[in-house]
Amino acid sequence: MIKRLVVISLLAYIFFMLEVMFNDVFGPWFKPELLLLLVVFWGLYSGIRYSIFAAFICGLLRDAYSILPFGTYVFVYVAAAYVTTLVRQNLYQPGSSFSRAVVAFFVLIGSLLIEVLFYLMHHELRWMEFLSGIVLPQVVITMVMVTFVFYRLRDVAVFFKI
């Protein structure tokens, strides 16, 4: 159990650094939601307990470097963990790549909606620019990477026997 928590924490830190690197190198239009994919993976692979732990760690990392009120991303990622559990119980077919992509898509859309609501509390939003410049590329690149990331995370889980 301790080994699994350490691996989740290290993966969260690595994924956070990759997100920062992608954002710095390519800008906001090529920034896959790797932390969200980590939360979804642990929700599908190990269940809600480890998914909530991953969500809490990912949320703390994101909140530490965010201008939003502290706890915003913890809330977003924990909500994503619960949505993953709900979708897993109702739509998920084990072993299906399409099913994993559907789960990731629903969680991604839900998390983006929550982030938009938090953003709207403090800023005026130009919807077309926001959708075409940030949300659409972010959804597309995350959905392109979902299968690759899930397979690599499964390989890590098998390697560490967790």
In tens, the pLDDT along 75-119 reads 989 988 998 888 888 887 777 778 777 777 877 787 777 777 777
Domain count within the chain: 1
pLDDT of residue 68: 79
- Is the predicted pLDDT of residue 13 greater than 90, yes or no? yes
pLDDT of residue 131: 73
- How large is the greatest C-alpha to C-alpha distance in the chain, in angstroms? 48
Length of the chain: 162
Cβ neighbours of residue 54 closer than 8 Å, sequence gap 6 or more: 8, 12, 38, 39, 42, 77, 81
Q: Which residues of 81-109 are buried (b: 16+ CB within 10 A; e: fewer)?
A: bbbbbebbeeebeeeeeebbebbbbbbbe
Q: Which CATH number do you get for residue 109?
A: 1.10.1760
pLDDT band at residue 146 using 50, 70 and 90 as cut-offs:
confident
pLDDT of residue 152: 93
- Is the predicted pLDDT of residue 15 greater than 80, yes or no? yes
pLDDT of residue 98: 81
pLDDT band at residue 31 using 50, 70 and 90 as cut-offs:
confident
> What pTM was estimated for this model as a whole?
0.86
Provide the domain limits for residue 26.
Answer: 2-159
